[in-house]
Chain A
């Protein structure tokens, strides 16, 4: 993701004017430099190739996005043709909603919590499995396997583990205690369980990205630091970590977006309950729209969710990029 935009900083057709090209070919490109000049081979005409994509985006992303802002200023119920403009009322209502604090906290736990653990554990796995041991192929395969399964189904599988009656966890608990535990109904535990299930499912993706990053680090750096007398810890801090910076950036940004919009796993494990205890912005919006038929407020919640994801992920991206350049 990062390299692409960096490449684009080189300026238009930078590679085309690179040395080693024939005069004829250079002219071909010069001819096509202007957008309006529509000869048979002009890049301007070629731009038609992305028009369908922009059409789809306008219809299914930009238009609804603008409509969503409009709807959030109304008291529309989602069905009736009659509704009235209520200005910022939906947003004011959000401030007074006694559940919104819990919901935002949960959304942050799902987003930031999973990001932290996926990166920390993913990096440890990658370091371990970058060593030459015979079981590493098998372990990599199995760690990545859950990422192939639908998050909804992964949620159900863990439901079998945590469920109150006959759950696999309680089979163990009952060996030591008298009573089974109902963690999924426990508001202090279930949010963390959902976060952990999301981490479990996608830690393999982080691991693969880290492994690819590790393998792109030249051995020379390690040899050089060995000559300087660096130990394993100092090698990790001064060679591995800085050179892994691009992988860290990708992982953090991808995991943040993935965790902040978490939906399927919550539906499978708790449906956001009990009450609002494990609700995230995404499930609350779903409930408000289809359950309470409160489209105006649901649209406002959607906009809040968009803002939150956009601000957090872009801020993280910019911050990490700056770090990357420094190191």
Chain B
């Protein structure tokens, strides 16, 4: 029994080390000066921050962070508003019509945006949506909505209908009762939607690289990708840039871990 426990611990620690490995290499690479050619496995003898300043300036990460922030914040706001509103009738009144609408919405989960890249790109040129915040935000919103609606409908299904009825007997219209009574109850699932959509939008590369090509509209991933090309020999700079880009989400995750994991699990198990 004791040796079995011992093996379990050993395996658990081995897995931890394996999965932390790339982050360790990222850290050592980004903290060593570019002239230090020692192995990436070795810790730096002296910490050097120059890679970070070079990456920050070279890739114009300051601008990219602002772009990322604006795009993520507005995408989230719209997804939460439209997603929760749409889920309410779809979950509460499962008429034939609404069931088909729900199925159509959920089915779009399997349409990867890349498959319609060519026509979408042309459409964006036609409507002057290229290199605009609203253009990329609406794309993020559209492709995040199926998952948000799926999660919201599942959650609304668990709220007793008696609540609606009581409110209506008190004279509230269904619209009022949604905004005053149901919406505040959706906080836990909203946290899940916020985290899932937020991470996805913040990390996005596909939409940004196609639809935000102007230099001052670049998001973090696009800025890093265009920084990577000419700097493959200055890998320490790219490493520092990658670390800076990954930091906000990682810190958020480490401090709010429970929210990330319980949200994911609840969404999945209900399914």
Taking Cβ atoms with an 8 Å cutoff, the residues of A that contact B are: 1-5, 7-8, 10-16, 21-22, 24-25, 28, 32-33, 35, 40-41, 43, 45-47, 49-50, 52-54, 56-57, 59-61, 63-65, 67-68, 70-71, 78, 125, 128-129, 131, 133-136, 138-146, 148-154, 156-158, 160-161, 163, 166-168, 171, 200, 204-205, 208-209, 211-213, 216, 246-247, 250, 257, 260-261, 263-264, 267-268, 282, 285-286, 289, 295, 298-299, 302-303, 305-306, 309-310, 313-314
B39 x A314 contact (CB < 8 A):
no
Q: Which chain A positions have C-beta within 8 A of B16? A: 135, 138-139, 142-143
Q: Output the nearest chain B residue to A69 by Cβ-Cβ distance.
A: B119
The number of residue pairs between A and B whose CB atoms lie closer than 8 Å in the complex comes to 322
B242 x A60 contact (CB < 8 A):
no
Instruction: State whether A153 and B15 are in contact (beta carbons under 8 Å apart), knowing that A61-B111, A282-B114, A309-B115 are contacts in the complex.
Output: no
A163 x B235 contact (CB < 8 A):
yes
SS class of chain B's interface: helix, strand, loop or mixed? helix
A65 x B88 contact (CB < 8 A):
no
Q: Output the nearest chain B residue to A288 by Cβ-Cβ distance.
A: B118
A148 x B250 contact (CB < 8 A):
yes
B98 at the interface (CB under 8 A from A): yes
B61 at the interface (CB under 8 A from A): no
| CA of A259 to CA of B165, assembled, Å | 45
Instruction: State whether A5 and B103 are in contact (beta carbons under 8 Å apart), knowing that A47-B89, A250-B271, A285-B114 are contacts in the complex.
Output: yes
Q: Which chain A positions have C-beta within 8 A of B93? A: 12-13, 32, 43, 46-47
Q: Which chain B positions have C-beta within 8 A of A141? A: 254, 257
**How far in angstroms is the closest Cβ of chain A from B36?**
11
Instruction: State whether A135 and B261 are in contact (beta carbons under 8 Å apart), knowing that A46-B174, A171-B40 are contacts in the complex.
Output: no
Q: Which chain A positions have C-beta within 8 A of B108? A: 57, 61
**How far in angstroms is the closest Cβ of chain B from A83?**
12
Give which listed residue, A47, A250, A302, contacts B268 with CB less than 8 A: A250
B145 x A257 contact (CB < 8 A):
no
Chain B, 84-130, CB within 8 A of any chain A CB: 85-86, 88-90, 92-99, 101-106, 108-112, 114-123
B162 at the interface (CB under 8 A from A): yes
Give which listed residue, B40, B82, B206, B265, contacts A53 with CB less than 8 A: B82
Instruction: State whether A160 and B29 are in contact (beta carbons under 8 Å apart), knowing that A46-B88, A67-B119 are contacts in the complex.
Output: yes
SS class of chain A's interface: helix, strand, loop or mixed? helix
B40 x A166 contact (CB < 8 A):
yes
**How far in angstroms is the closest Cβ of chain A from B144?**
11
B12 at the interface (CB under 8 A from A): yes
| CA of A28 to CA of B9, assembled, Å | 59
B242 x A67 contact (CB < 8 A):
no
Give which listed residue, B92, B154, B178, contacts A4 with CB less than 8 A: B154
B22 x A158 contact (CB < 8 A):
yes
Q: Output the nearest chain A residue to B93 by Cβ-Cβ distance.
A: A43
Instruction: State whether A305 and B114 are in contact (beta carbons under 8 Å apart), knowing that A135-B9, A152-B225 are contacts in the complex.
Output: yes
Q: Could you name 20 residue pairs across A and B whose Cβ atoms are closer than 8 Å?
A: A28-B165, A46-B88, A56-B145, A60-B138, A71-B119, A78-B121, A128-B15, A133-B9, A143-B16, A145-B253, A149-B250, A156-B224, A209-B269, A213-B269, A250-B271, A282-B112, A298-B117, A303-B115, A306-B112, A306-B116
